[in-house]
Structure 1
Amino acid sequence: MVNGSSTANVCGAMIIFQSPEGDKFEYAMKFQFQASNNEAEYEALLAGIKMCKAAGALEIEAKTDSLLVVSQVNGDFECKEASMSKYTNLIKEEIKTLKRFVLDHVPRSENHQADALSKLASSAEGDKPRIVFWEIKPVKNIDRKEVLFLSRENVWMNPIIEYKKTGRLPTDPLEAKYVKARDKWFELWDGTLYKKAFNRPLLKCISREDDLEVLKELHEGACASHIGGRELGEKALRTGYYWPTLKEDVLLYVRKCDSCQRHGNIYQKSSNYLTPVLFPLLFAKWGMDILGPFPVAAGQEKFVIIAVDYFTKWVEAEAMRGLTTNDVKGFVWKNLITRFGMPQSIVFDNGAQFETPKLREWLADQGIKAHLLQLIILRQMDKLKPSTRSYQQELKRI
């Protein structure tokens, strides 16, 4: 038994279910939209049919006190209004799968219980407390937009699984070539597809619907820390999952994460291209720097001089007590010249020990060109005007 109620402010509907055994359930709906009394009756009837079908009913006997609804559904009255015609079509679609459906008209005097409950749903308070199932309906059934759900389950895995099971390839030549080339990288165990890897165990292949759940759990789950895109991809592989678009999906997922966008670090420094220094000769160009002071070791040594070859990346290091010009000359002579031959040039860091005239004269006598890192930086700043603020700040920092 169903009934609808429409007031100036709020609309509602009530359905009373009664099983063949005599069990009775009451269900009330409150509409968040304005509807006429006939539309409310149709909404109640539609909801009642759907709920009976969800409970497994194959035969339904419905009763309502709306003569218009009964006559239009049974075909006695013609639907002149477009909304009534839409409701009638929806009901006919719902009852197609039923073995038997009967819709009868009852006088309002015999429908007093459903009528009272429908007014309860469309009013602020009821006359007495009772156990009633409530639902709030946001939009009309005829105003709902039809959503077509396309199942993408195993879309990318289906050709591979089919080839492994039956040996049949797709009809498209390019797709068939792709499947045949990648077949050796996959294994099928108990109907589940796994991908082989060079240095990992077998990775379980998952669909597009499942990978979003995996990324959500790894990125913002109970034990997650909102890691970056590349780390998230590596974590997904370590966990044992694989899908073809993993790298692109993790980067896109992190960019769309609300917490990462709100609380992530903002990098204000402009990005610049790296300018590598290429020198194709062995031990001909060295870079030199000083580390320390460290805790005093045996022999009062607390500094370290390091030299790195630009081509082989070979490292020479020695601990020293002090950092005088003679100490630097001794390091160059003992660790570079006597072991690897006379270098063509040495790039020094911006230390005071490397800028003394005595060291420059000694290097010039040996035929070694000395370069300071700050001069290299200044050459890269040639594009800045000396009067600009950036140039002055950089020069002051150096």
Structure 2
Amino acid sequence: MEKLCLTLYFSACKLRHYMLSFTTCIIAQTDLVKYMLSRPILRGRIGKWVLALSEFSLQYVPQKAVKGQAIADFLAHHPMLDTLAVRDLEVATETITRPDLTCLPEYAALYQATVSLQPWVLYFDGSRTDTLAGAGVLENSAADRFSYSFQLEFWCTNNQAEYEALIIGLEVLLELGVQDIQVHGDSLLVINQLREKFRCTSFLLAPYLDRALELLVQFDDVDLEHIPRERNFAANELAGARVERRTLPSWLAWADSPAVAALDLIDVDWRVPLIAYLKQPDHSADRKIRFLVLNYFLRNDELLQRGEDGVDFKCVYGREAKCLMREAHAGVCGAHQAGPKIRWLIRRQGYYWPSILKDCITFAKGCQDCQAHGLVQHIPNIPMQPIIKPWPTRGWALDLIGMIHPHSSLQHKFIIVATDFFTKWVEAEPLKEASGATIRQFIFNHIICRFGIQRCWYRIGGQHS
């Protein structure tokens, strides 16, 4: 910060005869004048600089605003010709009630990238009356909101209608490419069965529960929350609406031939090869598996890791690992601590998986509450760029413009321009002839007499007639 203040002081001393008659705008990331005047005691170098700058009229302009205006001007003068017009995209969104990525192939990757920035909220509700059954789904994000209403053409219970609405909403989100979701429903039975707090004793609901858990595993982060019926008003209205809706058979009827093809999961449970080798040792197995299996053993068909101090760790994977990180970071006893501390807490409770430290650090960085209430970052928000010359008036670039047609009234045919690398200060003078004597006279009168002897000169190449 003191180097920037020194730069301001040196520039003001060199350009004093220009700055005394005008108001000078200081473009910087921080207000240098405010920094110097806010010192408790004006003494030493700072006090000397403040006294020297007191005769000038200085005005601070944030560098961000200037840079943003420059970027806006650049984009206005250099439009992108390959991108569709905004009005085309707006027409497409008005005519499609449900976003179909096949209709907008150019924006498929962009749409999938935007929906994953923050979690989507899924509100579901099912309704069963004496005459018909309905399912309502409301999907909401920061910028999009989609509502679906289905009439179920089969007999079902109220809990089955709730599961039908949940399965429909999850499949739609998977088709859109969403990875982080929050599921809100007013059915306490469905939410607690998904949380594995309630057991499913009904043979009618068991297939629905298995299908819902199979869909939830495909998401990266899932948050289940029970809400009162007043907060689920929109989904409840969609489930019980008496308007023309799309009829939908039971999930059990089309479970064998789904309309949307499911992608094969690339990520495989890391415990499977270890358990297979422990149950049936094979010398032809991979050498890495035979080496890693020395630290593991089976107890009641559960994979455990041997600890260094005699404490065994239960090996977990996938959704169970995410629940452990969420509980240790933001649970009842969680204090929103960093990734290494979350790893220490999880291992203290007796759990382990190979990428535990990396996953904990990533989970802590992605916590929205930590980002909103964390410490203020004082580092610059833009990367620091080195400058060519670290001092004002140390290097100048010369350029000769001409010959100019027609000539001026005083028969000036050329213009010589000198630009300072640091301050971008420009000195220019019209010339009648481009000779060595006139250029030497310009450098002596306008540069050396005003700013002193320079360290280096640069000539911008070009042909002049």
TM-score by length of 2: 0.30
Q: TM-score, normalised by structure 1?
A: 0.34
